[in-house]
Amino acid sequence: MTMKRKSSVFDSQPVTLFVLVLIAALTCGCRTISRGRISRILPKMGHRNWIVVADSAYPAQNKDGIETVVTKRGQLEMVRSVLEAVDKAPHVRPVVYLDSELDNVSEVDAPGIRAYRNQLGLLLKNRTVKSMPHDRLIATMDEAAEMFSVMVFKTNMTMPYTSVFIELDCGYWNPDAEKRLREKMRRGN
């Protein structure tokens, strides 16, 4: 006696197509959620707030003022999205910090790091970029979160010391204007 196997809905091509469409929709949803999150939080943020576009091993910090969002996006893509949003916001401007260790990570230890540094360099071209040791940047985030919000966008990057730290500064007031104001106040004018 030969038994025929019952067909299943999993045997059909439409189910395969459905699964592929579902995966694509979920992936696109992650990108939309991240871009939407940036546009929702940026109006609330201002001078002294920070945005971190982190690699996948960046720690979840245990501080109330720090919110971490897992984006499932590429790190360079996320840096570009954040900087574009900040550049469009009239009330803030970005001050970019990189881990000082990044310049010393070797291709032997992290294959692809040279290409990453080149792509990041192009992305940050014409911007002032400061560097600081990674531990000091993390401590700075912790300290900033005492009084100000810090948003961490965790990406799928799997290379060390690739997080990009963005301190928000006032977009309509600059250090020179602040210096003139303080000098005038000191003189009593």
Q: CA 63, 66, 70, 76 torsion: positive or negative?
A: negative
Please say if the pLDDT value at position 9 is more than 50: no
Q: In this predicted structure, what is the pLDDT of residue 31?
A: 39
Q: In this predicted structure, what is the pLDDT of residue 141?
A: 86
CATH number of 14-187: 3.40.1650.10
Q: Rounded to two decimals, what is the model's pTM?
A: 0.79
Please say if the pLDDT value at position 23 is more than 60: no
Q: In this predicted structure, what is the pLDDT of residue 41?
A: 85
Q: Using CA atoms, how far apart are residues 49 and 145, in angstroms rounded to an integer?
A: 8
**Geometric angle at alpha carbon 136, from 172 and 114, rounded to 5°:** 85
Q: In this predicted structure, what is the pLDDT of residue 50?
A: 96
Please say if the pLDDT value at position 29 is more than 80: no
Q: Using CA atoms, how far apart are residues 101 and 160, in angstroms rounded to an integer?
A: 9
Average pLDDT, the chain: 85
Domain ranges of the chain: 14-187
Question: How far are the Cα atoms of 20, 59, 126 from residue 171, in angstroms, in the given order?
Answer: 43, 30, 17
Mean pLDDT on 56-74: 90
DSSP bridge pairs for 106:
none
Query: For 38-50, how does the pLDDT look when each residue is reduced to its tens digit (9 = 90+)?
Result: 878 889 999 999 9
The residue with greater pLDDT, 22 or 11, is 11
Query: For 94-141, how does the pLDDT look when each residue is reduced to its tens digit (9 = 90+)?
Result: 999 999 999 999 999 999 999 999 999 999 999 989 999 999 999 998
Place of tokens 């002294």: 48
Please say if the pLDDT value at position 13 is more than 60: no
